[in-house]
Amino acid sequence: MRQYFNWKTYLALMALFIVGASLYYTSQLAGKLAVEEKKKVEELAHAVRTLVSQNSNSQETTFATNIIEQNTSIPLIITTEKGEIVSFNNIDTAHSFGHSNIVKDKLAEFKKEHQAITADYLTGKQFIYYGDSDLLTQLRYFPYVQLAIIVLFLAVVLFALSAAHRSLQNQVWVGLSKETAHQLGTPLSSMEAWLELLRDNEENNDAVTEMQKDLDRLKLVADRFSKVGSAPQLKEENLVTQLEGIVNYMQRRAPKKVIITLISREPDVPVNISGPLFDWVMENLIRNALDAMAGQGKIDITITNTPQQVYVDVQDNGKGIPSYQVKKVFDPGFTTKKRGWGLGLSLSRRIIEKYHHGSIFVKQSEIGKGTTFRIVLRR
């Protein structure tokens, strides 16, 4: 159950509890106010009956008149038994040329809201129809206004917490990257010196050549880590040439039964990228593809050039990713390997989205058939 309940869930449940309690309390208040308004209308009906009664004395008449004059909030309409409108009160007709239509519409509305109160006179019956006062109407709508305010407040809080979390993650990534680059500096310098000693013996030429390539690659990795946290300078590069270098490097270090192929209809696809950082992303994707295969298979890297965007698809025929894990593969710390920190794809997404203003996602994955990652770069 822990995977479904986190601090965001508890915050949402608390908000729902507050809204529910508010709705219940407001509903109780609105109900009590509606009962009071009904009693007030009944008193008005009694007051009108007193005014038309021939047996009423002056004191009763004065009291009834005061009750009628004090009604400044409840809209009401008095009709005869035949439905003819005798009078109305607290209905705004100042902004209309034909107030009779407004009163008729209000009468139909009042008939749906409340049952009429009957006033028996010597000359016949009259019916008093009434609607909710402005106060009662506002009270009924108040919970929805409160709900909107709470939702807006939650949205602001979640956005602020998310921004703070991202900022903290940025600081961790930057600190970790720069410290890694610093730690790599000393052994790299030492390895450079040892290689110079090995060059003195001609028998070591082949080995020294390959070791120098790996050393240069380690220097490149250290340079990449040192650049994390600072805005890299994007330069126009031929994407085909850039990827050919990565494919050649990774092919020599992949199992012999794994074939890495670069597919492009055009020999020249210019894009603005940071070469070292983009290489890092591609190496991560290729390594993940290699890990997903049991020492044999193929990896196809396809470049699709369009007027607005350039697509780079990295497709393997490995074991695939379960559907419930597809959305998690870019989360920091998520990994299906027994070793590793689960930062490769997370950093790759940051490099593509933050520095190259593009996007990276799992285009397709099927268990037992493989996975395709897609990178989208702006033209």
Q: How confident is the model over 93-114, as pLDDT tens digits?
A: 655 445 567 777 788 888 887 7
Per-residue confidence (pLDDT) for residue 340, from 0 to 100: 54
- Between 54 and 10, the higher pLDDT residue: 10
Q: What is the mean pLDDT of residues 350-372?
A: 92
Do residues 322 and 313 lie in contact, with contact meaning Cβ atoms separated by under 8 Å? Answer: no
The dihedral region occupied by 52, where left means phi > 0, alpha psi between -120 and 50, and beta the remainder, is alpha
Per-residue confidence (pLDDT) for residue 40, from 0 to 100: 77
Per-residue confidence (pLDDT) for residue 237, from 0 to 100: 94
pLDDT tens digits for range 154-204: 788 778 877 777 777 667 767 777 777 777 777 888 888 888 888 888 788
Per-residue confidence (pLDDT) for residue 65, from 0 to 100: 62
Per-residue confidence (pLDDT) for residue 4, from 0 to 100: 46
pLDDT tens digits for range 292-341: 888 899 999 999 999 999 999 999 999 999 888 888 888 876 676 655 55
Do residues 304 and 310 lie in contact, with contact meaning Cβ atoms separated by under 8 Å? Answer: yes
Per-residue confidence (pLDDT) for residue 165, from 0 to 100: 72
Distance in angstroms (rounded) separating the CA atoms of residues 104 and 96: 13
Per-residue confidence (pLDDT) for residue 48, from 0 to 100: 66
Most confident of 53-62, 218-227, 231-240, 254-263: 254-263
**CA Rg value for the chain:** 39
